[in-house]
Amino acid sequence: RIAEMQIALRDKNMIVFHTEVAEHLKGQGIARKLLDEMVAYAREKQLKVVPLCAYVRAQFERHKETYNDIWN
């Protein structure tokens, strides 16, 4: 496994539990690519994101203006 993002869909919410990247691939922007794909999907499906994952929550907090429309 190279990387994964664990999510669950409940009603109109996408709950993100965990993001993980293989040790030898860290620092190459892979987690960011997963985040970008998740955000695009949430917007396409008009979902709100509940960021329980530390990485996703940190990105949402650092870039509030970018994610405000989907942050729940």
Give the model confidence (pLDDT) of 43-65 as tens digits. 999 999 999 999 999 999 999 99
Q: What pLDDT is attached to residue 26?
A: 94
What's the pTM?
Answer: 0.93
Q: Are 22 and 1 spatial neighbours (Cβ–Cβ below 8 Å)?
A: yes
Q: What is the pLDDT of residues 3-41, one digit of tens each?
A: 999 999 999 999 999 999 999 999 999 999 999 999 999
Q: What pLDDT is attached to residue 3?
A: 97
DSSP state of 25: G
Q: Flag whether pLDDT at 1 surpasses 90.
A: no
Of 4, 7, 3, which is closest to residue 52 (Cα–Cα)?
A: 7
Read off the tokens for 35: 């985040």
